[in-house]
Structure 1
Amino acid sequence: MDFVKKHPSLPAFIATLLIFTLAVTFLSEAYGTGTMSTSFVKTLGKTLCLALVAISMDLVWGYTGILSLGHFAFFGLGGYMIGMWLMFARTKLIVVESMAAADIPATAMEIKDAVGTQIFGVVGSSDFPLVWMFAHSFWAQIALVVLVPGLLALVFGWLAFRSRVTGVYLSILTQAMTLALSLYLFQNDSGLRGNNGLSGLQNLPGLDAVSQDAVSIWFFWASAFALLVTYLIANFVVSGKFGSVIRGIRDDEARVRFLGYSVEGFKLFVFVLTAIIAGIGGALYYPQAGIINPAEIAPIASIYLAVWVAIGGRGRIYGAVIGAGVVSLVSTYFTGGQAPNINLGFYTIKWVDWWQVLLGLSFVLVTLFAPKGIGGLFDLISGRLSPSRKGAPLGPDQGSLREQEAEK
């Protein structure tokens, strides 16, 4: 009960997510009235996955003060890990079925060579690279969804934080890491099919008889459950002493270090945890998207992620969810050709071309006039305002800000 009292948004979020999930299920083509199309169910499922990575960004940036411009790389790596199993298992079933009619049964090596040719023929190869070592095992690839983003974040974070790289320099380093990874994956010899990426991920191996209507709602349920668990974990992380320490690191890192806390350890824990959350989000997202390629890991994607969190409300976990949801759905509306063009006579505004300008303008306006983002509006509605201390200090020491100063 104390945990719920400290996080009044928790019951509201759980209730909203439950109602939303039931409503989508009731309207779906698989288990409901069929009012909602399968493609839109997939869009909503992908939006929930984007909310996952937005929460990870809010934890690392909004609460710990680390502006990471590389978290979408972890998101993409999670997608690649599960994508390898999906593509391998699906291709193997097709190859085995096609060879079943042969007079002489195919050997395991012949099947493997045929699968390799099917997967890597597009890049002029038929041999399985080392990174596909565990592609045949579902559970091994599930483990890699967590391990690969987590280990990359652990190594990068340990090197960066122990060197006490902070601020804009750390942001540049994370962006450089993302760019390097993206450029590497674009190469045909990266082992992940270069620019072609991994495709056909929406087809679940062994479930050919199951329609995409049912598969889409299954992934939607999985995404909703993952978002719920992540939201609970995130609220637990930011509460109590640990939450106070990471907020202190965000506000005054030197002072927290002077108090005897291992600043690097706290930052590294949050960085690794959020990378794992992002990887899980990617593993759920790309089977719904059906394809993943290196363009998904480009640095611009991580910049968009920071924009989502800023629009939703940095430092508010529900704000990150709101930001990701609003931007994702509005983006789908404008870029999907649903928004009508505006004819000005001398020029026609086509929203497909102007959507990114609108997004950038929204970010600027929120930064200037509503720094608390959309989540700040919910604070006003719920009455969650700073307590009035009649000008008294905001802290116990003589140097603490007074209420009037804090509002400036």
Structure 2
Amino acid sequence: MVDITSAGAPTRKPFVMRYPSVAIFLAILSLFTICVTVLGEGFGIGVVSTSFIKTLGKTLCLCLAALAMDLVWGYTGILSLGHMAFFGIGGYAIGMWLMYARTEVIVRESLSAAALPPTPQEISDGIATQIFGVVGASEFPPVWALAHSLPLQMAAIVIVPGLLALVFGWLAFRSRVTGVYLSILTQAMTLALSLYLFQNDSGLRGNNGLSGLQNLPGLEAVPQSKISILFFWASALALGLGYLLCAWVVSGKFGSVMRAIRDDESRVRFLGYSVEAYKLFVFSFTAVICGIAGALYYPQAGIINPAEVAPIASIYLAVWVAIGGRGRLYGAVIGAAFVSLLSTWFTGGQAPDVSLGFFTIQWVDWWTILLGLSFVAVTLFAPKGIGGLIDRFTEHRSPERHGADLGPDAGALREKEALE
């Protein structure tokens, strides 16, 4: 959209003004963040508990992962059942530094009373024994070589998921694997990673995972009520920037090519576009987004283990996007927030059991069945998801052309005829 200034020179409106839905989303997210901060225990009046603020912060991270899933599936047509693997890799990357730095503080304090100052090797051995003693080891595996450095581990949050997605995507897309076969391959990749992490010799403590991630080094005196708010702010900021970036990607020519690949990949290739390059970029880009989301999620969860990387987690992610409405960024956010919060309510024992006389429905056990039925119902009866309901209320009317041609040629369909 172009405006004409007083001098006659055309000016282009800012991106947010050209796409009101983006401005509305950012405004709602900002208002939500302010309200939670005011109602929270850390900096507010204490109406909202710290545990629930952590739940809300984790939900925002899941919404960011859902945005990535919508970009790769809803807009490009790649049903990936492995994106939560990248989410988990981001969590492991930041978790390694958190666990190393926190353990270093404990070891230094315990060795400070010794007659002689501890050597760097003694400190390193003490940290390794503390971390890996649970799996019967006392040395750092090679994967922990950079765990002492926060900048390097933060770089790993972006580089490792992006590089893994780049290699996997290059092998898959150059072979033109599509459809259900590609979905199975992504699921197999996730399963292989999960099984590897379950092994004690993986270097990541096997089934025990990484724990104590909520304890931030150097902030031991800061209560969890304030730390939870800080992470909540970071999660909200990441979601806002992620939404803005994803909206920018899908709004231009690149987004048009993505939709064209989703609708008819062969025709796009016939027109001369490098389909594989587009798919590879989207796959790697969304993997990085998931890695960042995971790095913000697990310090709020406090623990990460291989079960978080299991294929079922990626299937849940696809279900959230489908229920929210794929092909709509706000639909992905709504679906992830709605289902994850509802899941917390049902599985947390807050939902009352339903007695049928001969049988009692306990939602902790029946929630996954309800979620599966909801997914089937949405697929059959509401393929546009919750986002489709919003589209009905915000549907644009036909432009007021007052009988002008609706096409590029004279005699094209006119407004009155189009409305009949």
Q: Which amino acid aligns with 1:376?
A: G
Work out which of the residue numbers 291, 295, 298 in structure 2 matches 1:286: 298
- Give distance in 2, aligned partners of 1:5 and 1:57: 26
1:3 positional shift: 2.9
- Give distance in 2, aligned partners of 1:24 and 1:268: 38
SS at match of 2:163: helix
Instruction: Give 1:5-404 correspondences, 5 Å limit.
Output: 6-384=18-396
Q: Which digits, 9 at most, give the CA deviation of each residue in 1:80-131, with x for residues without a partner? A: 0000000000000000001101111111101100100000001110110111
SS at match of 1:206: coil
The count of residues paired between Structure 1 and Structure 2 equals: 392
SS at match of 1:117: helix
Match of 2:413 in 1: none
Q: Tell me: CA distance 1:252–1:273, structure 2 relative to 1, closer, same or farther (3 Å).
A: same
Q: Normalising by the residue count of structure 1, what TM-score does the alignment of the two structures yield?
A: 0.94
What percent of counterpart residues are identical?
Answer: 74
Q: Which amino acid aligns with 2:126?
A: A
Q: Check whether the contact 1:24–1:36 (CA below 8 A) recurs between aligned residues.
A: yes
Q: Which digits, 9 at most, give the CA deviation of each residue in 1:325-365, with x for residues without a partner? A: 00011001101111000111100000000000110111111
Moved more, 31-40 or 377-386: 377-386
SS at match of 1:371: coil
Q: Check whether the contact 2:17–2:23 (CA below 8 A) recurs between aligned residues.
A: no
- Give distance in 1, aligned partners of 2:14 and 2:252: 11
Q: Which digits, 9 at most, give the CA deviation of each residue in 1:120-170, with x for residues without a partner? A: 001110110111011000000000000000000000000000010000000
- Give distance in 2, aligned partners of 1:270 and 1:313: 19
- Give distance in 1, aligned partners of 2:302 and 2:377: 35
The unaligned stretches of length 5 or more in structure 1 are: 389-393, 397-408
Tell me the C-alpha RMSD between the 2 structures: 1.6
- Give distance in 2, aligned partners of 1:5 and 1:283: 31
- Give distance in 1, aligned partners of 2:240 and 2:267: 34
SS at match of 1:383: coil
- Give distance in 2, aligned partners of 1:200 and 1:385: 54
Q: Which digits, 9 at most, give the CA deviation of each residue in 1:375-402, with x for residues without a partner? A: 11111111247999xxxxx999xxxxxx
Q: Check whether the contact 1:379–1:385 (CA below 8 A) recurs between aligned residues.
A: no
1:8 positional shift: 2.6
Q: Which amino acid aligns with 1:245?
A: V
Q: Which amino acid aligns with 1:282?
A: G
1:7 positional shift: 2.6
Runs of 4+ in 1 over 4 A off after TM superposition: 384-388
- Give distance in 1, aligned partners of 2:104 and 2:346: 39
Q: Check whether the contact 1:29–1:213 (CA below 8 A) recurs between aligned residues.
A: yes
Match of 2:7 in 1: none
- Give distance in 2, aligned partners of 1:38 and 1:54: 24
Q: Which amino acid aligns with 1:22?
A: I
Moved more, 1-10 or 254-263: 1-10
The unaligned stretches of length 5 or more in structure 2 are: 1-12, 401-405, 409-420
Q: Check whether the contact 1:79–1:292 (CA below 8 A) recurs between aligned residues.
A: yes
Match of 2:10 in 1: none
Q: Tell me: CA distance 1:387–1:244, structure 2 relative to 1, closer, same or farther (3 Å).
A: farther
- Give distance in 2, aligned partners of 1:95 and 1:384: 63
Q: Normalising by the residue count of structure 2, what TM-score does the alignment of the two structures yield?
A: 0.91
Q: Tell me: CA distance 1:44–1:110, structure 2 relative to 1, closer, same or farther (3 Å).
A: same
SS at match of 1:135: coil
